[in-house]
Amino acid sequence: MNELIEILSDLHPEVDFTTEKGLVTGGILDSFDIVSLISEINEAFDVTIGAAELTPENFDSAETIYALIKAKLDDED
């Protein structure tokens, strides 16, 4: 989770990603941010996030993003 928070903080250092719950629905992350975020996640965690997983529900908080990463890692085991 700490690595994910660091990646998110690099995108928007002014946001407290440990408490923010509206990253997409609140307009904090835009489409360019999501593309950058996915690239960073793929590199850092060695997972591939597919187009079907690009939903606001999966990217609206650090917790939901981390849950998606964990699910992808569990699928690979």
pLDDT computed for residue 77 by the predictor: 72
Q: Residue 76 — very low, low, confident or very high, per pLDDT cuts 50/70/90? A: confident
Which residues, other chains included, contact 2 with Cβ-Cβ below 8 Å and sequence gap of 6+?
none
Q: Examine the pLDDT at 25 and tell me if it is beyond 80.
A: yes
pLDDT computed for residue 16 by the predictor: 97
Largest CA distance in the chain: 36
Assess contact for 17 and 24: CB atoms under 8 A: no
Mean pLDDT, residues 63-69 taken together: 98
* Distance, CA of 32 to chain centre: 13
Q: Residue 75 — very low, low, confident or very high, per pLDDT cuts 50/70/90? A: confident
Assess contact for 49 and 26: CB atoms under 8 A: no
- Residue 29 has, within 13 A of its CA and on its CB side, a CA count of 30
